[in-house]
Structure 1
Amino acid sequence: MTTDPHLAADIDAACRLTGQFTLRSGQVADTYFDKYLFEAQPDLLDRVAAQMVDLLPEDTELLGGLELGGIPIATMVSSRTRLPALFVRKKAKEYGTAKLAEGPDVAGRRITIIEDVITTGGAVRDATNALRELGAVVEVVVCAIDRSPADENPLADVGLEIRSVLTRAQLDAASST
């Protein structure tokens, strides 16, 4: 993989916030990576997507972008790889088609989850379980930022491998330089 040597510094500068933040998991953190601040910048979003391409398993059939932050990234990765994207809701809508995942049928397909930031993996865990109930094969999640503790896989309980473009340690190192 060709690593963008300045990506960590540029992402850190664009989206690191300090203060007191309650995460989806209920944890309180003094640092928050506001992924929308880099996802809204086409150049940064494209650079993240470019790094994700090399992290995808070769047998990926669909890219499952999680609502909301994973969707723009999955769209960019889809554009680069020509793999179809799937837009995965937090819960199935209650009207119209009542789908959990918008896009191609998932039954029997190998889906790589695309996510923005992972700390405890709650949203990824929920989506993985729901997609598997629909017959999908889900084994890998590729994320822009893995802020979980080093050498710890918060998604091991559901048998998911995490592949990340950047880790919290890389962002912290970029922040201190």
Structure 2
Amino acid sequence: MNNNELTQKIYEVSHLEGEFTLRSGQISHEYFDKYLFESHPELLVIIAEKLSEMIPQGTEVLAGLEMGGIPIATALSIRTGIPVVFVRKKAKEYGTCKLAEGIEIRDKNVCIIEDVVTTGGQIKLSANDLRNFGANIKNVICVIERDKKGRENLKNEGLKLLSLFTMEDLKKHL
């Protein structure tokens, strides 16, 4: 499946219309329900194939952010053989009390994996948390870059955003 066919399929499967409040607090009259494309194995396999080509050289660990980044990071890990950690928004308060579940991240080159980036707010928080645990983080990969503000916000935090598609790419199929 080429990129145009993939954008069209993601759009068909995930595009909703109505009034939606985004995590950032912004109101939108359209929404791309990431869980709709993430729950289709055939799409997830193709997305992982395309994203695997974008993983920066030297990446030692993929960090899937709760919740939407987890299935993508898992598919990427299976595709590439790069280990994955699952990053909570907040460390659990029982058991191991971990923020990042999985292998050790200290002194590792970690690439954050996310599904949709709007402002990058949660990515910034998670990147800082992971850095506090000793991870080296410079790169973020996402499926859909919803708003260019996210790219700018992440750049200000020393993070480079690599996106498979922008919102404009998806809107070409309106």
Is 1:51 the counterpart of 2:60? The answer is: no
What is the Cα deviation at residue 152 of structure 1? 5.0
CA contact (8 A) 1:45 1:73 kept: yes
Instruction: Determine helix, strand or coil for the equivalent of 2:152.
Output: coil
Q: Could you say which residue in structure 2 is the equivalent of 1:110? A: 109
Q: Could you say which residue in structure 1 is the equivalent of 2:156? A: 157
CA contact (8 A) 2:64 2:112 kept: yes
Query: Please, what TM-score do these two structures have when normalized by structure 2?
Result: 0.96
Instruction: Determine helix, strand or coil for the equivalent of 1:128.
Output: helix
Q: Per the alignment, do residues 3 and 112 of structure 1 end up closer, same or farther by CA in structure 2, a change over 3 Å counting?
A: farther
Q: Per the alignment, do residues 151 and 21 of structure 1 end up closer, same or farther by CA in structure 2, a change over 3 Å counting?
A: closer
Instruction: Determine helix, strand or coil for the equivalent of 1:19.
Output: strand
What is the Cα deviation at residue 154 of structure 1? 2.7
What is the Cα deviation at residue 123 of structure 1? 1.2
Q: Which has the higher helix share?
A: 2
Q: Could you say which residue in structure 1 is the equivalent of 2:87? A: 88
Instruction: Determine helix, strand or coil for the equivalent of 2:106.
Output: coil
Instruction: Between 24-33 and 73-82, report the one with greater CA deviation.
Output: 24-33
Cα distance in 2 for partners of 1:154, 1:128 equals 12
Cα distance in 1 for partners of 2:150, 2:86 equals 29
Q: Could you say which residue in structure 2 is the equivalent of 1:10? A: 9
Amino acid in the other structure paired with 1:20: E
Q: Per the alignment, do residues 138 and 82 of structure 1 end up closer, same or farther by CA in structure 2, a change over 3 Å counting?
A: same
Identical-pair percentage: 47
Is 1:134 the counterpart of 2:133? The answer is: yes
Query: Please, what TM-score do these two structures have when normalized by structure 1?
Result: 0.94
Is 1:63 the counterpart of 2:62? The answer is: yes
Unmatched runs of 5 consecutive residues or more in structure 1: none
Amino acid in the other structure paired with 1:92: A
What is the Cα deviation at residue 149 of structure 1? 2.9
Count of residue pairs brought into register by the alignment: 174
The CA RMSD measured in Å over matched residues stands at 1.5
CA contact (8 A) 1:11 1:38 kept: yes
